[in-house]
Structure 1
Amino acid sequence: MKPLHIETPLIESRPLSAHAGRGVWLKMEAAQPSGSFKLRGIGRACQDHARRGATRFVSSSGGNAGIAVAYAGRRLGIPVTVVVPETTSDHAVALLRQEEADVVVHGPSWQEANAHAQSLMGGHDAFLHPFDDELLWDGHAGMIDEVARTGWRPDAVVVSVGGGGLMSGVIQGLRRNGWPGVPVIAVETHGAESLAQSVAAGHRIELPRITSIATSLGARQVCARAFDLAMDHPVVSVVVTDGEAVQACLRFLHDHRVLVEPACGASLALAYGGHAALQPFEKILAIVCGGATTTIETLQAFSG
């Protein structure tokens, strides 16, 4: 079965390279049909569940994961129910309905929405977790396969971390392409830094709440796989401010004519700021993970 995602461009960014003082290449996952990298793993998982006879997909994300499930379900002809928390924007709900998903609003946060989604599961339904599923990691790893096929090899990969699904997939991709020593620079925003705090503590911690505006990074606890990889792979944990993430989004829009969300801007902020974490490396691969629910008005309001 043909994949639901597309092979995305790998481009050298002259603006970001100039700011970083080293070569910065971009894996343009914002170009995916659903607007983010999530479609790689979620599309693969949905196709797998469809082959097993699933008659409905259920998701608990009002963001990129939910949109990816809705897109995959529409393409596969399988109904989709997405449970979103009350904090989900009207724009995000509209995007989900545009993909013909049945949207249920429930609870003050993702935790409550997720519990309600689980309660809706029927015997032939398939649940699509936003980040904690080996099918997702294997699908996300494909972006590194595509980089490897070009013959270009990075010295380090910069990724944004929320629940840890993207980082898990990137590291899986590095290892299966014979690049186990390539470091990953894992970026979070203050108020959503569950990985950074877990690494500092030496065990997985759970944040009491999310205070960052980068809601796509808003997992109060990273998945166990991501934490284990942070202990086992060369991973550098970096935390930036919301302001740095938003300004990076606006600068990236100016430089590359592509609108991304603050969760993605967190990674781009390292290049724009010439962050010390990049200094040991000459060739940087930044995953431009995307973000479908952000608008220019939202970014301008955040930038104040």
Structure 2
Amino acid sequence: MKAASYDAYAPDNSRLRVGDVPDPRVGPGQVLVEVRAAGVNPVDWKVMAGGLDPIVEAVFPVIPGWDVAGVVAAVGVDTPEFEPGDEVISYARMPIIRHGTFAELVAVPAEFLARRPVALDWAAAGGLPLTGLTALRLLNRLEVTAGDVLLVYGAAGGVGSIAVQLGRERGARVIGTASPRNHDFVRGLGAEPVAYGEGQADRVRDLAPGGVTAVADCVGGQLDTTLAVLAFGGRHASIADPSVTEHGGSSVWTRPDGAALTELAALADQGVLTVEVSRTFPLEEVAAAFDASRTGHTRGKIILTP
């Protein structure tokens, strides 16, 4: 099969290649997925730079990628949940970094999989798993409910845009930071947009003089604003700044979870949840996709289509 891979850590794309590699084995309880779309996330190129090496083992050569939408090509022994031809999605991060989703085929544990939501095309479905599960875990950790005033940093990004929609679905009032060019997009998701940068805390306070009751940090580096606008007794959590735990917040790390992904797929099919796709790239242009992700200014998701 064709796959992207790198044979050593690198801070850039210098070790990244696309070429033929052996097809993956399909073990008991696993499903072989023919990849139709794979979401590109900042963690993919951060892992390639060695960012997770202190806590997660890598075996080279590494095929990057943790998101996948595709068609079941085969199933392993004792895997009655799925059969060839099923359309599925998954956040396919394994305990050891080696066999990822930026390939024509990937083997995934059955419990990581959910049925593809029919309301999402292949590209959008491939962009849902990691961002959707991360946003869901953030809002569950914050225990967001109706009556909350939720502040989402990075509301136009992959995780942030899903967090906005999940917050609105729960009945919260949502305020979202974004660049002015994305304010109409953020409004369309159901949030009140606020420009990020200098004066951000003042602008949030103008909208919520009593403070916000929950903060979902999807970008990092926002602790000063959080502490300035959080109401007494409010909750805050971050996916990008572990230091929040020193100030009463929670640091969130996403786990593969087929049941939670099924919940997200149902919301998509109910019309509650959409996935914005910014750009798609063929597998051969994975380096360009990484470069686009590195800019940090992407609205929604970047997708690879093997």
TM-score for the superposition, normalised by structure 1: 0.36
Point out the structure with the larger helix share.
1
Point out the structure with the larger strand share.
2
TM-score for the superposition, normalised by structure 2: 0.36
